[in-house]
Amino acid sequence: MGEKDDEQRRRIRRGIVATLVGGTFWGLNGTVSKWLMDTYAIDPLWLVCLRELTACWLFLAAAAVTAQGREQLTGVLRSPSGLLQILGVSFAAILFSQVAYLEAIDWTNSATATIMQSLGMVLVLVYVCLKMRRRPRRRELLGVVLALVGTYLVATGGNPGQLNLPPEGLAWGLGCAAAAACLSILPAAPMARWGNFTVNGLAFLFSGAALSLWYRPWEHVPALDGVALAVLALCVVAGTFGAYALYLQGVKDAGSMRASLLGTIEPVTATIATVVWLATPFSPAEIVGFALIIVMVYLTA
């Protein structure tokens, strides 16, 4: 029993680290993507198509490197039920989360979209409690409160005037929350069976292909120079491949609830990256928000 407990604790710690690093990559990727879109007039949906249809091959190549990965990849391709599970991850988690977030930003602003997205952790907590037929633990409830308040302070600087919620923005914001919850819940079962890289690779391939058929990215190719191509490569390798691989590994190892809470490192990283890039000082509210999220990380560890 002692060895099993030690192994479980090591797995949870590994999952916590993976989630935090993945969330950090997401936050950096958001700042870099915003710079790309502003500097080179890149359409957000074109960027989503590019990231998904390039990162998918990195995931599949990583799956094919090991014998176990090749076995999992060939196995799921022969399993209609496995492919159906991954298709659900592709549309309900990967595609839905990216489109809903972009639409929420379009109808409101990035601060509002980030806060609405963070509400997904409440949905995850409800799901976990219903599935396990238990009440929320005090530590979980406190973690949710700290994460929500911290995210609000980081995203808005404590200024409610930055929040703008027209009906369409509210709808897409709630969609963000639902998609974030799906991303913390749906991939867990197929990853346990088919592996992280296989599930991500096929989910990104299905999602990117579906979005491309609708959006037709070849009709919206922006003018790019060498700097833009290098930054795009960084977005694909670190901000997409690295971020999703690490975050979903965290879901697998640390559990959906911990991963959902720890994912709030994303707005912290995005804010720090933006401030460093633009040489803008932190506001007192942002510093308090950082502190609350750090406390939340400690509580969930």
Tell me the Cα Rg of the chain.
19
Residue 199: pLDDT band with limits 50, 70, 90: very high
Q: Is residue 225 situated within a structural domain? A: yes
Q: Is residue 8 situated within a structural domain? A: no
Q: Which residue has the tokens 């406390």?
A: 295
Q: Which residue has the higher pLDDT, 14 or 103?
A: 14
Q: Is residue 152 situated within a structural domain? A: yes
Residue 95: pLDDT band with limits 50, 70, 90: confident
Q: Is residue 203 situated within a structural domain? A: yes
Q: Is residue 2 situated within a structural domain? A: no
Q: State the residue range of the domain holding 150.
A: 14-300
The confidence score (pLDDT) of residue 301 equals: 54
Q: Is residue 7 situated within a structural domain? A: no
% of the chain beyond a pLDDT of 70:
88
Torsion of CA 286, 289, 291, 295, to 10 degrees: -170
Q: Is residue 3 situated within a structural domain? A: no
Instruction: Provide the number of structural domains found in the chain.
Output: 1
> Which tokens in the block code for residue 287?
């510093």
Which tens digits make up the pLDDT trace of 127-177? Answer: 888 988 888 888 888 888 887 888 788 777 777 776 666 788 778 888 888
Q: Is residue 4 situated within a structural domain? A: no
Contact 151, 293 (CB under 8 A): yes
Which DSSP string do the residues of 33-66 spell out, in sequence order? HHHHHHHH---HHHHHHHHHHHHHHHHHHHHHHS
